[in-house]
Amino acid sequence: MKIRVLGIPLDLGQERRGVDMGPSAVRAAGLDAALKAIGQHVEDCGNIHVKIAEEQPFGDRRAKYLHEIAAVSEEVAQRVAQTLDEGLFPISLGGDHSIAIGTLSGVAKHHHDRGQSIGCLWIDAHADMNTPESSPSGNIHGMPFAALLGYGPDPLTKIFGYAPKLRAPDCVLIGARDLDARERRIVKDAGVHVFTMRDIDEQGMRSVMERSIELATRSTAGFAVSFDMDVVDPDEAPGVGTPVAGGITFREAHLAMEIIADSKQLLSLEVVEVNPILDAHNRTAGLAVGLITSALGKKIL
């Protein structure tokens, strides 16, 4: 596989500084060497330029930094679509989870041009399905999944001139355990499949992942994975901006990625919300590297 790595140091979608250093932290944890060790060819394109918060007003309190995030998303979408057009596999490093608006728009566009749709596994403690009207904070990192499904302002939903980028029946939210009150209704109305932490506890990660992949590939070209590091329990991944107790374990996270690799239907991968300022000895970035290599075929034996 030929891989192109793109860093997206976007931190405007949330309020805790440091997540803009996530791409550098993951690289410092040895991503390039780890990928090459499992036989992958790696091209690192560096980082997209993102203006810092101090350079601009946040604008509408219901959707802070909307226009800057939309501009970054458009550039990211173009870069990811081009990567796929050139036959390379995209790995995107966040940054906060609002980067998914651009990354998954790019993956969707590449396949849309070929008459195909894509599935999505959104692996996250949160649903990220707020809109400006429902969000209690106005932080766009809580809105990207909704935007990709066509809910929200046009600058986020209509990149490339069409919406939605994802079809709800082809999308699965995995590991959810912290949803906003008004967001719950959006999740139910949208019709995405959801496996909460209770489902993982009761059914086991293997069963949940196998069913999720089945749902995401019934009528698609394959699936994209958007992995928020806060889905992992904070004891294992302390370096995230919105930690929630009771997350998946180290081994459950690796098993999920190993099952994804076994499916051979992965179209793209992004890992988001690594915040080295909040981390301990770069543990969260190191775990991110391990999970990326598991998703791309690293095995124990």
Catalytically annotated residues:
97, 124, 126, 128, 141, 228, 230, 273
CA-to-CA distance for 196 and 2, rounded, in angstroms? 34
Alpha helices in 62-128 (DSSP H): 66-85, 100-112
CA-to-CA distance for 250 and 260, rounded, in angstroms? 16
- Tokens found for residue 269: 């991968």
Tally the C-alpha atoms within 13 A of residue 269's C-alpha that lie toward its C-beta: 23
- CB atoms inside a 10 Å sphere around CB 228: 27
Amino acid at position 173, single letter: L
CA-to-CA distance for 137 and 97, rounded, in angstroms? 15
CA-to-CA distance for 91 and 275, rounded, in angstroms? 18
CA-to-CA distance for 194 and 266, rounded, in angstroms? 19
Contact 225, 260 (CB under 8 A): yes
Task: Report the helix count and the strand count for the chain, using DSSP H and E.
Answer: 11, 8
Can you list the positions of beta strands (E) in 71-196?
89-94, 119-123, 171-176, 193-196
Give the orientation angle of helix 283-295 with respect to helix 250-263, to 10 degrees: 30
CA-to-CA distance for 162 and 203, rounded, in angstroms? 37
- CB atoms inside a 10 Å sphere around CB 240: 25
Contact 232, 291 (CB under 8 A): no
